[in-house]
Chain A
Amino acid sequence: KAGVTQTPRYLIKTRGQQVTLSCSPISGHRSVSWYQQTPGQGLQFLFEYFSETQRNKGNFPGRFSGRQFSNSRSEMNVSTLELGDSALYLCASSWTGLEGNEQFFGPGTRLTVL
């Protein structure tokens, strides 16, 4: 079974631009969660989608948004990029996202904001 895939793997943007990242979950998984990883803050939860609905949201500004499609693929968007948005963005998929379902991570998208 193929794992979680994320595109692109690397991205360089400048301040003020916007960016869209894509995540394809493991086949059959309906929950997709997004995390931001930085050296200082570690892994922080952004949001989770299940059946095209955002079920849960972390403490990030509204510039961070996402969506999920009917095939469970998910995208996240960051508008008006700031230098502090430079990070590794990881998505994780699970069957339901609930207790008892492990989350499996994709390889991540490394975003650099100049």
Chain B
Amino acid sequence: QKEVEQNSGPLSVPEGAIASLNCTYSDRGSQSFFWYRQYSGKSPELIMFIYSNGDKEDGRFTAQLNKASQYVSLLIRDSQPSDSATYLCAALNYGGSQGNLIFGKGTKLSVKP
């Protein structure tokens, strides 16, 4: 069973701090990883994706991938109250000519003013 695991939280950080969200995956064949943000009552919104080992930065967001440890993380710098949401980690289950996302259950982030 291919799984993606996340700490459900809630993770609470003060405004301006760095929020660190973590995710592990079970399928070593997974190559692509995605972070989505989901506000309550809304659909998931893609934040960023990462394919290669190491760090990938986009504005206040940094995704980190360690394939040897099967670990993905998302850092949010200078956290804002508007970042309060559930963050979903997903691995692309790619098999030949098809692919689907396997999602973790999400980590709820709360940024306190």
Which residue of the partner chain, among B36, B44, B101, B106, contacts A33 with CB atoms under 8 Å?
A: B101
Within 8 A of A (CB), among B30-51: 31-32, 34, 36, 42-46, 49, 51
The number of A-B residue pairs with CB atoms under 8 Å apart is: 64
With contact pairs A48-B98, A55-B98 given, residues A100 and B103 touching in the complex (Cβ less than 8 Å): no
- Which of chain A's residues 2-38 have a Cβ closer than 8 Å to chain B? 33, 35
Q: For the side of the interface on A, what is the size category? A: 20 to 34
CA distance A48 to B103 in the complex (A): 15
- The CA of A99 and the CA of B52, in the complex, are separated in Å by 12
Return chain A residues, CB-CB under 8 Å to B92. Answer: 99
Which residues of B are at the interface with A, using a C-beta cutoff of 8 A?
31-32, 34, 36, 42-46, 49, 51, 88, 90, 92, 94-95, 97-106
